[in-house]
């Protein structure tokens, strides 16, 4: 029997490629999580990305989000992963400009649309909106909304809002104020 090593080599490459692709599409299951919990988390993440695209107007996979706490409030930062992606950067900037204006007016419809629930801190941020300032600024990668307040109750609400975002978007940002 004659074996064609070229065919075997091609088959091996195909198997390795398919195996690698399968693992790349399915993130590793976190320790202590059942298969069902992992499947539910992956579905939740996919739903969040889809709703986020509709509410924010840009592809979540092409951008990075950061939610940073500060002693006077915090910030929401979004940037493009690829510096040459001018279209996504433009969309990010438009979204964050809208967010700054909408939040200042007490409108938190977009976070609700993205997360399918009222985000912690929102009700207090709406009630105390006169004591909270929202300032948009461009960054090289996209944009930033600085949120500031001298009101302790409003600041606690801003922190609760940002901490929720950190968890939901899995940004890895610190959950407390850096000093």
* Interval 78-132: pLDDT, tens: 999 999 999 999 999 999 999 999 999 999 988 777 767 788 999 999 999 999 9
* 46 located within any domain: no
Dmax (CA) of the chain: 84
Domain assignment of residue 82, given as a range: 58-179
Query: Would you say the pTM of this structure is higher than 0.75?
Result: no
* 176 located within any domain: yes
Q: Grade residue 23 by pLDDT with cuts at 50, 70 and 90.
A: very low
Per-residue pLDDT at 68: 97
Per-residue pLDDT at 34: 80
Phi-psi region of 147 (alpha: psi -120 to 50; beta: other; left: phi over 0): beta
3-state helix, strand and coil shares in percent for the chain, rounded to the nearest 5: 55, 15, 25
Per-residue pLDDT at 96: 96
How many folded domains does the chain comprise? 1
pLDDT above 80 for 77: yes
């Amino acid at each position: 029997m004659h074996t064609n090593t070229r065919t075997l080599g091609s088959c091996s490459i195909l198997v390795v490629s398919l195996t690698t692709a399968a693992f790349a599409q399915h993130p590793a299951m976190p320790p202590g999580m059942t298969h069902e919990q992992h499947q539910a988390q992956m579905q939740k993440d996919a739903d969040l990305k889809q709703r986020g695209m509709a509410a924010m107007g840009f592809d979540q996979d092409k951008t990075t989000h950061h939610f940073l706490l500060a002693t006077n409030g915090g910030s929401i930062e979004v940037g493009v992963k690829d510096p040459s992606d001018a279209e996504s950067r433009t969309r990010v900037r438009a979204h964050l400009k809208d967010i700054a204006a909408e939040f200042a007016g007490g409108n938190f419809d977009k976070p609700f649309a993205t997360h399918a629930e009222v985000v912690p801190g929102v009700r207090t941020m709406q009630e105390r909106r006169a004591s909270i300032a929202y300032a948009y600024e461009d960054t090289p990668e996209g944009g930033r909304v600085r949120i500031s307040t001298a009101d302790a109750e409003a600041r606690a609400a801003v922190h609760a809002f940002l901490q929720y975002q950190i968890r939901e978007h899995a940004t890895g940002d610190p959950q407390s104020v850096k000093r």
